[in-house]
Amino acid sequence: MRIVLYSHDSVGLGHVRRNLALAHALSNQLPGLVDRPVTGLLITGTALAPAFRLPEGWDWVLLPGVAKSADGYLPRNLTLSMREFVSLRARLLQATLAGFRPHLVIVDRHATGVHGELETALRRARSAGPVRVVLGLREVLDSPAAALTEWARVGGPRVVKSLFDAIWVYGDPAVYDPVAAGEIPFALRKLIRYTGYLAEGRLSASGTSCMPGPYCLTTVGGGSDGYALASVAVAARIPDGLGHLVVAGPQMPAGQLEDLRRRARPGVKVVAAVDDIVFHLRHAGAVVSMGGYNTVCEILGTHIPALIVPRTQSRAEQRIRAASLAEAGYLEQHDVGTLTPEFLADWLASRFGTTVDRRRAVLDGLVRVPQLAAELLQPLVNADRSGADQSGTRSGTRRERAATARTKEGASRVAV
């Protein structure tokens, strides 16, 4: 089974990290569900992607990078007009899908990619078939008004229905339901399947910590907009005997990273990245984090107390996620504008070593997604088996006819 996972990747690493978690889950579980080996491509727009560990049988396709400014998307590095840039990415996407001929395509978050770059590739893949195409959505998109504007930009429910066989929402509707909230058009409800959070089963491979003893952890995701939280974290006093690991993110500007290291209190270690953030999170005594989907999922898969300090600019996504999960009792939240080193120090001291019961949340999305994929792919598998059986029958019939002809020929020669 050939699988393609697409993410556009303009800001941060959230899209590609979510797709990578899905790739590992599909690679591990889908072969046993459809009785076929799995191979796949992860299409991404971030040059940092190859630093992540791939499942066996998978590879990367790196598109020219796209960045996001106050005026919208623009090329990250290339000196091209946006029209030329989108046309280039679109042709690369068409060639990739046409050459790889996937059975399953999962598109992360943006239905037709940057400025519609993916639409033609999807339509051609569907016409070439057989293929199943899925739109994968995090449980919170944005404020309802902003989300509905984006749906309209891609052509609304009519276009989405023509491109996709299903919509998978990676969340628990008992915590937050984007359809009820108005973030997903009601007309698409029949395509939607809720998977639960992609939380349990996140891979951890390192088995080693970069901290010598017990520690608390602050992480700000990719780091491009995490300086405000990290600067409070490095100034917070840490209880005696504890360390504080601050992961600033690989996309934090070098000047900001050096400033954090210079101002860090005793016991605070500032790093740009760690080999295995999941391992370090699971072994921390308390966690402070921004509200990105992947980090929150990694937290939900533990019993560790967490304080979420969501992004306040750009999208409302992180604020909505933090509020919904705090209301459910799974974590705490605080606004970065009123966060002080003193508050953070008190929170860490009072929460360190305690636990949070998150068993009521639906956290097994990385099990549910391969099951949903198998349901979509089963008709293709059955057709393949049927075709193979018919081919075998036809071949057998031809062999039988040939054998009969040879027998008759031999008999004729004997008679002569």
Tally of domains in the chain: 2
Say if residue 104 is in the same domain as residue 186: yes
pLDDT of residue 285: 97
Reference 48, options 58, 62, 38; nearest CA is 62
Say if residue 256 is in the same domain as residue 176: no
Distance, in Å, from the CA atom of 300 to the CA atom of 99, rounded to the nearest integer, reads 39
**79 Cβ contact partners less than 8 Å away, ≥ 6 residues apart:** none
pLDDT of residue 11: 86
Is residue 391 a part of any domain in this protein? no
Distance, in Å, from the CA atom of 63 to the CA atom of 15, rounded to the nearest integer, reads 14
Is residue 413 a part of any domain in this protein? no
Say if residue 17 is in the same domain as residue 129: yes
pLDDT of residue 204: 82
Is residue 403 a part of any domain in this protein? no
Is residue 406 a part of any domain in this protein? no
pLDDT of residue 389: 64
Assigned token pair, 83:
């029209």
Say if residue 28 is in the same domain as residue 145: yes
Residues pairing with 68 in the sheet: 73
Name the stretches of the chain with pLDDT < 50: 395, 397-416
Distance, in Å, from the CA atom of 221 to the CA atom of 224, rounded to the nearest integer, reads 8
Say if residue 375 is in the same domain as residue 278: no
CATH number of the domain that 29 lies in?
Answer: 3.40.50.2000
pLDDT of residue 302: 96
Say if residue 15 is in the same domain as residue 105: yes
Assigned token pair, 200:
């349990």
- pTM (2 decimals)? 0.91
pLDDT of residue 401: 46
Is residue 393 a part of any domain in this protein? no
Say if residue 91 is in the same domain as residue 192: yes
Say if residue 171 is in the same domain as residue 274: no
Distance, in Å, from the CA atom of 351 to the CA atom of 121, rounded to the nearest integer, reads 50
SS3 for 92-145 is: HHHHHHHHHCCCEEEEECCCCCHHHCCHHHHHHHHHHCCCEEEEEEECCCCCHH
Is residue 278 a part of any domain in this protein? yes
Sheet containing strand 306-308, edge to edge, reads 268-271, 243-247, 215-219, 287-289, 306-308, 332-333
pLDDT of residue 392: 56
Residue 25 and residue 370 in contact, taking contact as beta carbons nearer than 8 Å: yes
What's the one-letter identity of residue 42? Answer: L
**Domain coverage including residue 134:** 2-199+365-385
Please, what is the angle between helix 365-415 and helix 14-34, to 10°?
40
52-64 residues labelled b (16+ CB within 10 A) or e (exposed): bebbeebebbbbe
The number of residues making up the chain comes to 416
Distance, in Å, from the CA atom of 176 to the CA atom of 328, rounded to the nearest integer, reads 10
Residues pairing with 271 in the sheet: 247
How are beta strands 192-194 and 215-219 bridged, if at all?
unpaired
Say if residue 231 is in the same domain as residue 322: yes
Say if residue 188 is in the same domain as residue 266: no
Say if residue 158 is in the same domain as residue 221: no
Ramachandran angles phi, psi of 4, nearest 5°: -120, 130
- Which DSSP letter does residue 335 get? -
Is residue 416 a part of any domain in this protein? no
Residue pLDDT, tens place only, 285-322: 999 999 999 999 999 999 999 999 999 887 899 999 99
Is residue 78 a part of any domain in this protein? yes
Say if residue 276 is in the same domain as residue 309: yes
Residue pLDDT, tens place only, 341-369: 999 999 999 999 999 999 999 999 999 99
Which three-class secondary structure state does DSSP give residue 285? coil
